[in-house]
Amino acid sequence: MPQLTLSSDPKSKSLALSPKKPIHTSSLSPGSSRKAAYTKKGDEPNLWELHHIQEDMAATSKKRHAKDAVESSNKKRKGAEDEEMKGQPDRSDGHDPEGGGVAGEKGSKEKKKNAYEIKGKIATAEDAARADEDPLLNQLERLIEKGQKEVNKGESFVYWMRMEDLRIEDNTALHKASEKAQDFGIPLIVLFVISPGDYKIHDRSNKKIDFILRNLRDLKTKFHELNIPIHIASYDRRLQIPRRVITEILPSLGAKHLFVNIEYEVDELRRDIATVKLGRESGIDVRCLHDRLVVPPGKIKSQQGKPMSVFSPWQRAWAKLLDQQPHYLNMSPSPKANDKSIKSNDKFNKLFEEDIPDHVEGFECPESEKLKEVWPEGTDKAKELLDRFLHTKPRQTQFQFTSPLNTGAEESQKESRVAQYQTGRNLVDGDNSSRLSPYLAAGVISARMVLNEAKKLKGGKLESGRDTGVGMWVQEVSWRDFYNHVMATWPRVSMGRPFLEKFADVQWETNEEHLQAWKDGRTGYPIVDAAMRACKARGWMENRVRMVSASFLVKSLMLDWRLGEKYFMESFIDGDLAANNGGWQWTASTGTDPQPFFRIFNTLTQSEKCDPTGAYIRYWVPELKNLKGKAVHDPFHQMPKNEFKKLGYPEPIVDHKKSRERALFRYKNVGEKEEGAEVD
């Protein structure tokens, strides 16, 4: 996740990237194009310890110096790889990576320092292109193909559980580790590593970390029933984790074998590459397996044998592959129990006494008890949520801050939530969606599990089209595979770069007040405000209002999409880099198969469509709870001014028509800022 680092400037109230060049203005024509703006390195100490090695070392360059920058970056990369193998960050001098376009003051010819900067997490276009040429997943797979020499069986097998495979059922690496442990006649041990530094750098929300810990506590009980201990380690410095695991944890457990499920983000792939290499140096066999997705990256290609970046043809190929090779939907057996003698083994018995912490420092969650009701932990609860979605009718009160498993759900096959999903997915005034996204993102339930249940509704056939509710929902599940495939194939998207570089220099506004109003749900646009307040309360939004609120930030407020991407990750309980980045880049018209830039959501129209009764707005925006009809969607224009003022609700912070014209100009004339009056 690109990290947006706040850098305060007491003389400025703006926010976004710091431009290195003046912004050209024009009233009509594109004029001369503007090259990329850059962020400047601040005075923060130990920045290298907080930012990713390659991203920190990406050389800032103008085009005429590109060759020198590439050579310098190559040298630094080699040093960084050597250091990362030791688990230590590189500390050589360098420059912060390239930023993106930022609109300065009209007509300004001077450099402008902004209150907030996107610093140290946006790679240069050159470095992003280089990462795409040889994706890290390909590097890891080549490393695995070389194989590992025979190693001793050791005293235990270790399965390293990650944040995205928090389940016992249908867990590939867990099953394989258990199978091997049984073959060798030695116990299986589960390892989980907590890393506050990693959570911070990747913008994890306190709600997500709380959800992870609650699920770990649920798993601990189930593992203990199988005589399997779970060992919890904690390392703040994430780059040290491979070395600590290989040289400290595994030797302490007498382990010579480590099994993991692959994660496809750049940082996580680097970690696994380092772990495999260190393992081979230390005589430890590290096995990395595909598990997160239904179809692993690299399995779906065009007729020309190339990776696909447009969803519709990709999705048809995905569905065809599953039809022709149904083994991709096969689920792994659960692990077998360890011999009960492990509990009297002096080396391992104390592992059963280890506790799962109540919280992680810096990620305390005061609303944990309420969230436990709204997002109950455990695979059993996830299965119950799935069953409700597939077999019961939607209920309008269930969009509220309440348990999704409340009593009173009425069973129905013809009128179930999934049967009505074609229309229900665009409505927010009820529990029309599955609400499984937090469970899928954390691996509490696997995508294979949910698709196999969907198959049962259609006599064992997996529907995957827009003609039925089930088919539409299966398509929505496939988006998760798609965005992970994109991230694994084009790592640039997890390096802060737009997939479409032609939009790298779109000029963004620098308005801290507007950003804060959006975060707080105080924009004067009720559907946006309702969604943002729901986000803050429960860490989740329905998909339709995610798109509406994201479009408002990017196209109406003209604020950098990466600011929104960061805030959603910091807020959502279902935060997932691939899906979050894919959604934001779609909205910003910068991603793979994006929404065309000239399609700009009309916030009022979207509000009337997705919340036709206004119930969602009235619940989440109590200032408007007594309004009826169209006034609840647009109180400022539908009510007399004196009556509107009594509501205590803000006026719209931006004019839709003017903001639309501004967005169209900036996307058509990348690198330029229009002349004329402000739109707010």
Residue 68: pLDDT above 60?
A: no
Taking alpha carbons only, the member of 448, 488, 484, 137 closest to residue 294 is 448
What does the pLDDT read at residue 587? 95
Structure tokens at 235: 């390392």
Q: How many CA atoms lie within 13 A of 493 on its CB side?
A: 27
Structure tokens at 522: 């105080």
Residue 421 known to bind ligand: yes
Show the 3-state SS of 196-212.
HHHHHHCCCCHHHHHHH
169: left (phi over 0), alpha (psi -120 to 50) or beta: beta
**Total Cβ atoms within 10 A of residue 226:** 16
Q: Which domains does the chain have, with CATH numbers?
A: 136-292 (3.40.50.620), 295-330+374-489 (1.25.40.80), 501-668 (1.10.579.10)
Query: How many H helices and E strands in the chain?
Result: 28, 7
Q: What is the arithmetic mean of pLDDT over 302-327?
A: 96
Residue 576 known to bind ligand: yes
For 17, the 3-state DSSP assignment is: coil
Cα separation of the two ends of the chain: 31
Task: Give the span between the Cα atoms of 585 and 496, in whole angstroms.
Answer: 10
Residue 476 known to bind ligand: yes
Cα 442-447-453 angle, rounded to 5 deg: 130
Q: What is the arithmetic mean of pLDDT over 313-338?
A: 97
What are the tens digits of pLDDT across the range 447-499? 999 999 999 999 999 999 899 999 999 999 999 999 999 999 999 999 999 99
What does the pLDDT read at residue 31? 34
Residue 482 known to bind ligand: yes
Q: Which residues of 460-492 are buried (b: 16+ CB within 10 A; e: fewer)?
A: eebbbeeebbbbbbbbebbbbbbbbbbbbbbbb
Residue 564 known to bind ligand: no
Task: Give the span between the Cα atoms of 660 and 590, in whole angstroms.
Answer: 17
Residue 147 known to bind ligand: no
Task: Give the span between the Cα atoms of 446 and 455, in whole angstroms.
Answer: 15
Query: 607 near 620, Cβ under 8 Å?
Result: no
Residue 480 known to bind ligand: yes
The phi, psi pair for 105, rounded to 5°, reads -65, 145
What does the pLDDT read at residue 510? 92
Task: Give the span between the Cα atoms of 128 and 130, in whole angstroms.
Answer: 5
For residues 173, 175, 177, 181, the Cα torsion angle rounded to the nearest 10 degrees is: 180
Q: What is the arithmetic mean of pLDDT over 357-371?
A: 96
Residue 434 known to bind ligand: yes
Assign 3 a pLDDT band (cuts: 50, 70, 90). very low
| Of 47 and 266, more confident | 266
- The overall average pLDDT reported for the chain is 85
Task: Give the span between the Cα atoms of 483 and 522, in whole angstroms.
Answer: 31
What are the tens digits of pLDDT across the range 90-145? 322 322 323 334 443 333 333 333 334 455 678 889 999 999 999 999 999 999 99
Residue 525 known to bind ligand: no
Show the 3-state SS of 435-485.
CCHHHHHCCCCCHHHHHHHHHHCCCCCCCCCCCCHHHHHHHHHHHHHHHHH
Q: Give the helix/strand (H/E) hosting 267.
A: helix 266-281
User: Which of the residue ranges 68-82, 231-245, 340-354 would you say has the lowest mean pLDDT?
Assistant: 68-82
Residue 65: pLDDT above 50?
A: no
Q: How many CA atoms lie within 13 A of 625 on its CB side?
A: 5
What does the pLDDT read at residue 103? 40
User: Which of the residue ranges 319-333, 397-411, 518-532 would you say has the lowest mean pLDDT?
Assistant: 397-411
What does the pLDDT read at residue 62? 32
Query: 166 near 135, Cβ under 8 Å?
Result: no
Structure tokens at 606: 């979207």
Assign 19 a pLDDT band (cuts: 50, 70, 90). very low
Task: Give the span between the Cα atoms of 409 and 374, in whole angstroms.
Answer: 16
Residue 473 known to bind ligand: yes
Classify residue 236 by burial, with Cβ atoms within 10 Å: 0-12, 13-18, 19+.
Answer: middle
Residue 560 known to bind ligand: no
Q: What is the arithmetic mean of pLDDT over 358-370?
A: 96
Residue 218 known to bind ligand: no
R_g (Cα) of the chain, nearest Å: 25
Task: Give the span between the Cα atoms of 645 and 641, in whole angstroms.
Answer: 6
Query: 569 near 1, Cβ under 8 Å?
Result: yes
Q: Which residues of 394-413 are buried (b: 16+ CB within 10 A; e: fewer)?
A: bbeebbbeeebeeeebeeee
Q: What is the arithmetic mean of pLDDT over 21-34?
A: 35
Assign 54 a pLDDT band (cuts: 50, 70, 90). very low
What are the tens digits of pLDDT across the range 179-224? 999 999 999 999 999 999 999 999 999 999 999 999 999 999 999 9
Query: 493 near 123, Cβ under 8 Å?
Result: no
Structure tokens at 206: 């306190």
Residue ranges of alpha helices (H) inside 61-122 are 66-85
What does the pLDDT read at residue 149? 79
Handedness of CA 497, 503, 505, 511 (dihedral sign): negative
Residue 574 known to bind ligand: yes
Query: 288 near 276, Cβ under 8 Å?
Result: yes
Residue 544 known to bind ligand: no
CA distances for 199 relative to 1, 130, 193, 589, 652, angstroms: 10, 26, 11, 28, 35
Task: Give the span between the Cα atoms of 372 and 539, in whole angstroms.
Answer: 12
Kindly state the percentage of the chain with pLDDT values over 90. Answer: 77
What are the tens digits of pLDDT across the range 389-425? 999 999 988 888 999 999 999 999 999 999 999 999 9
What does the pLDDT read at residue 120? 62
Q: How many CA atoms lie within 13 A of 483 on its CB side?
A: 21
Residue 435 known to bind ligand: yes
629: left (phi over 0), alpha (psi -120 to 50) or beta: left
Residue 401 known to bind ligand: no
Kindly state the percentage of the chain with pLDDT values over 70. Answer: 82
Helix 603-610 and helix 543-551: axis angle, to 10°?
170
Taking alpha carbons only, the member of 244, 222, 247 closest to residue 234 is 244
For 226, the 3-state DSSP assignment is: coil
Residue ranges of alpha helices (H) inside 345-468 are 368-374, 379-391, 421-424, 437-441, 447-456
What are the tens digits of pLDDT across the range 133-179? 999 999 999 999 987 778 899 999 999 999 999 999 999 999 999 99
What does the pLDDT read at residue 45? 30
What does the pLDDT read at residue 361? 96
Query: 239 near 87, Cβ under 8 Å?
Result: yes
What are the tens digits of pLDDT across the range 571-620? 999 999 999 999 999 999 999 977 788 889 999 999 999 999 999 999 99
In one-letter notation, the amino acid at residue 664 is L
Instruction: Fill in the DSSP letter of residue 504.
Output: T
| Of 620 and 677, more confident | 620
